[in-house]
Amino acid sequence: MSAYLDTRVSLLATRLWRDDALDALIGAPADVLADTLARRGLPQLAADDRGRGRGRGRGQDPRSLEQRIVAQILDETRVLIRPLSGSARAFLGFWTARFEMSNVKTLLRSKMIGERPAAVLGRLTPMGAFGRLDNQALAHAEDVGELLRRLEAGPYAGIVRHARRAFDESRDPFGLDAALDRGYYEGLVLHAQPLEKTAGASFRSLIADLVDRVNLVWLLRYRFNYRLPPAEVYYLLVGSRYSLSGSRLQHLATLDSPGAVLAALPPAWQARLAGVRDIPGVFARMEHAAAEHAQQVLHSRAPAIARAFAYLILRERDLRAVRALLRGRHLGLAAGDIRQALRRDAEAP
């Protein structure tokens, strides 16, 4: 099974994009773009560009660009998960659940504004074989409270339970979203723990990159953009055993400026984030470092599940860049503006 997965990962890795290859497509003719996307395993993403200015063509995909990108990620995950069993299969399956949690947020918001079920169902991302929720039944829940109770009785009870309690206390939509995000990532950490022992340091380091980045960026946003008190900020962070431990995060949440937070990070982190001026810069720098590390794992002799996870991290980053490219072309943006949106280096905004 490991040999099969290693081979699949190596084949899929040839689809990853270099920055210069993306840059070359900014002003490319629609047919050239479509052919390039097809060679990279993304023929369906060129549908809008082919049909722009000609109305909806027969071959165009009616789904949104975002839905098509998620469908691509799910399709490739389905290929990689096929030979897996046990904790490795459960982990990659749960990795896709963040897309279903986005559907949950959409359903919750629709209930808050009294939207008709038919309208919201059309906006949900199809999950295919990874879907675990009955969206029809959830969309027809009477109100937010009933929707949360139904979710709490379903497969994501561990994620929803604390979020429902937080919402019952505050009726705050932001707090509900934040609690759902925290619940998802804490579930991901739990699914990763068995693999950290069997797949070793390479897999653990990928999870650590992800959780540490999420926690630091959330801490900065919640504390200084949303002005939440330290105790509430700390409550909304993911429980961590990595570089940014719980005790360190608790201390960082008490500091009174982003600069003070960055100055209180471990020395290696301060070096990594030297010169960063704002919170988007922190995210960009950390994501760049995580992508470089994922590239190292992907092209190493790490266990197959670690290489597969590294590929999925990089592929999703690639597809976000393709999305920015296509949206920029659809909107008729100047090449320089599209090029700025595509920047993926350590200094990207």
What CATH number does the domain containing 174 carry?
A: 1.20.1690
**pLDDT, tens digit, 9 for 90 and up, residues 8-34:** 999 999 999 988 999 999 999 999 999
For residue 239, the Cα-to-chain-centroid distance in whole angstroms is 18
Helical axes 304-330 vs 335-342, angle rounded to 10°? 160
Alpha-carbon gap, residue 11 to 307, rounded angstroms: 12
Is 320 a member of any domain? no
Q: Name the residue range of residue 182's domain.
A: 89-199
Q: Which of 347, 222, 219 is nearest to 289 (CA)?
A: 347
Is 25 a member of any domain? no
Q: Is the pLDDT of residue 55 over 50?
A: no
Contacts of 221 (CB under 8 A, 6+ apart): 279
Is 236 a member of any domain? no
Q: Is the pLDDT of residue 139 over 50?
A: yes
Alpha-carbon gap, residue 179 to 21, rounded angstroms: 39
Is 167 a member of any domain? yes
Q: What share of the chain is helix, strand, coil (3-state, %, to 5)?
A: 70, 0, 30
Is 307 a member of any domain? no
**pLDDT, tens digit, 9 for 90 and up, residues 176-223:** 999 999 999 999 999 999 999 899 999 999 999 999 999 999 999 999
Task: Output the pLDDT for position 1.
Answer: 59
CA dihedral (311, 316, 318, 319) positive or negative: positive
The pair of three-digit structure tokens given for residue 343, joined into one six-digit string: 């920047």
In this predicted model, which residue has the larger pLDDT, 48 or 137?
137
Quick one: DSSP state of residue 345? S
Confidence at 49, pLDDT banded by 50, 70, 90:
low
The pair of three-digit structure tokens given for residue 110, joined into one six-digit string: 């629709």
3-state SS assignment for residue 217: helix
Q: How many domains does the chain have?
A: 1
Is 99 a member of any domain? yes
Is 325 a member of any domain? no
Task: Output the pLDDT for position 60.
Answer: 47
Is 225 a member of any domain? no
Task: Output the pLDDT for position 319.
Answer: 93
